[in-house]
Amino acid sequence: MPDYIFERECRTPHSECYIIAAGEEEVGRVDVHYTPSMAYATLCVGEDLTEDDIRELVEEIDERLVLTTDPFREDFVVTVWAGREAAVFSDEDMEEEEEDDEEDEEEEGNGHRTD
């Protein structure tokens, strides 16, 4: 089993988000949400992880993240998505794209010739 590293991206009073790495390679991310009696997680991993790999990873998440935060929970429900990362979007990216579009429009002009 790989030695997983969980790097917290963010935390709220009722949830946490982690990037999951094995060595130097990022293998997925997990978002964990806590209710008074249960913990829920969405686990996103690459397509190359086997079902056994995923089960081991879920056990690690439970032992190292969930039980340390909520040891008295009644259940831990995990939804697993396997695939590839398509993109990461942020407000900064969207603003830069809008600025580029505006610059393109200014360069193109209004369609009238100025002889």
- Give this prediction's pTM: 0.77
CA distance 80 to 46: 10
pLDDT band at 1 (very low <50, low <70, confident <90, very high): confident
pLDDT band with cut points at 50, 70 and 90 for residue 92: confident
Residue scoring higher pLDDT (32 or 114): 32
Cβ neighbours of residue 78 under 8 Å, at least 6 residues apart?
40, 41, 42, 43, 58, 61
Q: Residue type at 87?
A: A
108 versus 48: which is more confidently predicted?
Answer: 48
Q: What is the rounded average pLDDT of the residues 70-97?
A: 87
Average pLDDT value for the chain = 88
User: Which residues is 32 bridged to in the sheet?
Assistant: 16, 41
| Whether pLDDT at 2 is above 60 | yes
Q: What integer pLDDT is reported at residue 65 of this predicted model?
A: 95
